[in-house]
Chains A and B, each alone.
Chain A
Amino acid sequence: MTLEIRAARPGEEGLVLGFIRKLADYEKLLHEVEATEADMQTALFGPSPRCCCDIALWNGHPAGFALWFYNFSTFAGKEGIYLEDLFVETEYRGKGIGKALLRHLARRCVAEGLPRLQWWVLDWNEPSIAVYTSLGAKPMDEWTVYRVSGPELKELAR
Chain B
Amino acid sequence: MSISIRDASAGDGAILHAMVRELAHNHGHETDFTALPEDYERFLSDAHAINGALIGFWKDEPAGCAIWQRSYSTFRGRETLYLEDLSVLPQFRGRGVGTALLKAVARFAVSRGLPSVTWLMMAWNENARRVYTAAGAEIEDGNCLCRLSGAALERIAS
Contact = CB atoms under 8 A, between A and B. Distances in A.
A75 B157 contact: no
B110 A153 contact: yes
Interface residues of B, number: 70
A144 B146 CA distance: 13
Contacts of A99: 156
Contact of A146 (B20, B24, B137): B137
B76 A35 contact: yes
A139 B145 contact: yes
21 contacts: A34-B75, A35-B75, A36-B77, A70-B50, A74-B16, A78-B39, A82-B71, A116-B147, A116-B149, A117-B148, A119-B145, A136-B155, A138-B146, A138-B147, A140-B144, A143-B121, A143-B145, A145-B140, A148-B135, A150-B115, A154-B110
Categorize the interface residue count of chain A: 35 or more
Contacts of B74: 20, 35, 40, 51, 67, 84-85
Interface stretch (A4-12, A54-62, A89-97, A101-109): A101-109
Contacts of B110: 153-154, 157
Secondary structure at chain A's binding surface: helix, strand, loop or mixed? mixed
Given A75-B34, A142-B124, A143-B120, 5 more contacts: A77-B39, A138-B152, A145-B140, A146-B138, A152-B135
Interface string A19-63: 010001000010011111001100100000011000000000000
A50 B138 contact: no
Contacts of A67: 74
Contacts of B152: 135-138
A136 to B, nearest CB: 3
